[in-house]
Amino acid sequence: MIKINTPVDEEKIRSLKVGDEVLISGSIVTARDRAHKYMVEERPDDIRGDLENSIIYHCGPVMKKHDDGTWEVVAAGPTTSIREEIYQADVMEEYKVRGVIGKGGMGPKTLAGLAKTGAVYLHAIGGASQVLARTVVSVPRVYKLEEFGVPESFWVFTVKDFPAVVTMDSHGGSLHDKILATAEEEFRSIVDSL
């Protein structure tokens, strides 16, 4: 397992390759559809400090607010990333984001963006939302809670040993593309044998 601590520099991220297993500690920021659209269209400055050299997590967490005003993460599983394909490369470049965590992979625009900006796509385990929530040690900030609601807000999580696998790297490697090509080849061989 490779330890990644945020903020993380471009050199460290460019050293990662498809298949590398990582444990992330430090700050990560949740962002889903509304947050990505907002970042591209409005280019807000208040979140820049939390995003620069950090990692975006495609996640709509389940949160619980305690009487003392602190937040607890009840569940924090990854959501499907491809929905952010139209925004992700622009967001990474604008905010100097070094990684994106999600599930299902992303497309060619994001893959090109990873190479350009020095970032990686990390796959988190779907269906393990409570396990992943236990890696969150604190929730120091939230942005746009009233406007966007709990799942779509920018939640800043401090995590310790959040597990993920690099499935798209900054060198043009994509495990998702390899799996798709293998599946298509297998499908063709089955059809041809009929």
The CATH number covering residue 8 comes to 3.20.130.10
Percent of the chain topping pLDDT 90: 87
Model confidence at 115, pLDDT cuts 50, 70, 90, reads very high
Nearest by Cα to 180 from 103, 105, 74: 105
Mean pLDDT of 127-156: 95
Distance, CA of 21 to CA of 175 (rounded, Å): 13
Domain count, the chain: 1
Q: Does the pLDDT at position 133 exceed 90? A: yes
Q: What is the pLDDT of residue 13?
A: 97
Q: Is the pLDDT of residue 180 over 90?
A: no
Residue 58 catalytic? Answer: no
Average confidence (pLDDT) over 120-125: 95
Is the confidence at residue 167, as pLDDT, over 70? yes
Q: For the chain, where are the E strands, in sequence order?
A: 2-5, 21-30, 55-57, 62-65, 71-75, 99-102, 120-123, 136-143, 154-168
Indicate if the pLDDT at residue 134 is higher than 70: yes
User: What's the confidence (pLDDT) of residue 127?
Assistant: 82
Q: Which of 36, 58, 123, 176 is catalytic?
A: 36
* Domain, as residue range, for 150: 2-193
Q: Has residue 186 got a pLDDT over 80?
A: no
